[in-house]
């Protein structure tokens, strides 16, 4: 009972993308169904519509943060909008992973740091707030990672064990504060925004969720309904495929090339 198939065309790991798109092309051919190539990030942007209880209202500011990207979008439709800011170096999830490695924690770093810092003091260690005074909505996480490295270096014998919970909590708070700071500035610039969405793997972080909800209590805030929809999943690609067809009709079925690198300019259209 399928009308079409949707598959991630990129960006991502070449091997994974080739396996996925080859399987999708084969099934589309066997079943004589049209195929939709979806930009990975567009999948994340549409994830709040999965199992939603109320229809979100545009325009929307969406923070999309994961291990591979950290982007800020102003969206006027499911597949329309503009990119407001993006990371200049590490992505948020990558900063969690690298921080966890410095702390001797496991991969993936986000859940590991969240668990280690659960009972820690988030104010025990001071970390910088990147680009706070800069006239930009871009992100930068490399300085936070470096700050953590030097903080560990200055501990007695570089032993993090006695203060692991405090370090993890403070580092997690700093990362979340940077994401929150970008959202605040974006909302100041876009006064017509009706909702804020936070998507991607990092949107599963409890500290980030709490900070965003408490800070923006005057506006509707949405996260993916299920934690499963925060991380990479097939449902969000199906959701994005649906909206591509809804917005562009048969053009959504145009042939595509599988690509490990795809520009963010290809995620949404600005008209």
* Residue-wise pLDDT tens digits, 230-240: 999 999 999 99
pLDDT, mean of residues 49-76: 92
Collapsing DSSP to helix, strand or coil, 190 comes out as coil
Confidence (pLDDT) at 52: 81
Label residue 271 by pLDDT band (50, 70, 90). low
Collapsing DSSP to helix, strand or coil, 29 comes out as helix
Residue in the structure block whose two tokens are 């066997």: 30
Task: For strands 60-65 and 220-222, give the pairing.
Answer: unpaired
Residues 6+ apart with CB under 8 A from 129: 174, 177, 178, 181
Rg (Cα) of the chain, in Å, rounded?
20
Confidence (pLDDT) at 37: 98
Per-residue pLDDT reduced to its tens digit, 52-65 = 878 899 999 999 99
pLDDT, mean of residues 123-149: 95
**What span, in angstroms and rounded, lies between the C-alpha atoms of 210 and 90?**
23
Q: Is the Cβ–Cβ distance between 65 and 182 less than 8 Å?
A: no
> Of 108, 84, 106, which Cα lies nearest the Cα of 94?
108
Q: What is the dihedral of CA 205, 207, 210, 212, to 10 degrees?
A: -80
**What span, in angstroms and rounded, lies between the C-alpha atoms of 205 and 96?**
11
**73: number of Cβ within 10 Å:** 23
For helices 206-215 and 164-189, what crossing angle results, to 10°? 40
Residue 211, Cβ density class (10 Å: 0-12 exposed, 13-18 middle, ≥19 buried): middle
Q: Over pLDDT 70: what percentage of the chain? A: 100
Q: How many residues does the chain have?
A: 271
Label residue 67 by pLDDT band (50, 70, 90). confident
> Of 49, 4, 40, 15, which Cα lies nearest the Cα of 201?
40
**What span, in angstroms and rounded, lies between the C-alpha atoms of 37 and 24?**
10
Eight-class DSSP state of 90 = S
**What span, in angstroms and rounded, lies between the C-alpha atoms of 81 and 90?**
24
pTM as predicted: 0.94
pLDDT, mean of residues 139-160: 95
Above 90 in pLDDT, residue 1? no
pLDDT, mean of residues 142-165: 95
pLDDT, mean of residues 157-164: 95
Confidence (pLDDT) at 9: 97
């Amino acid at each position: 009972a399928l009308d079409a198939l949707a598959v991630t065309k990129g960006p991502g790991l070449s091997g994974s993308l080739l396996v996925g798109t080859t399987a999708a092309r084969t099934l589309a051919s066997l079943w004589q169904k049209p195929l939709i190539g979806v930009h990975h990030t567009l999948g994340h942007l549409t994830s709040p519509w999965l199992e939603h209880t109320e229809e979100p209202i545009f325009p929307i500011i969406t923070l999309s943060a994961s291990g591979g990207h950290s982007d800020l979008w102003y969206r006027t439709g499911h597949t329309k909008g503009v990119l407001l800011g993006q990371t200049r170096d590490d992505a948020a999830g990558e900063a969690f992973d690298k921080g966890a490695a410095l702390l001797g924690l496991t991969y993936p770093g986000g859940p590991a740091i969240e668990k280690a810092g659960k009972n820690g003091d988030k104010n025990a260690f001071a970390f910088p707030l990147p680009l706070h005074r800069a006239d930009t909505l871009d992100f930068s996480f490399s300085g936070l990672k470096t700050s953590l490295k030097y903080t560990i270096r200055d501990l007695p014998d570089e032993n993090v064990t006695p203060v692991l919970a405090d370090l993890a909590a403070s580092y997690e708070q700093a990362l979340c504060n940077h994401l929150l700071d970008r959202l605040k500035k974006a909302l100041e610039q876009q006064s017509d925004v009706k909702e804020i969405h936070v998507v991607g793997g990092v949107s599963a972080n409890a500290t980030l969720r709490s900070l965003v909800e408490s800070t923006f209590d005057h506006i509707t805030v949405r996260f993916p309904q299920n934690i499963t929809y925060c991380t990479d999943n097939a449902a969000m690609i199906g959701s994005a495929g649906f909206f591509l067809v809804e917005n562009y009709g048969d053009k959504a079925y145009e042939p595509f090339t599988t690509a490990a690198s795809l520009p963010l300019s290809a995620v949404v259209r600005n008209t």
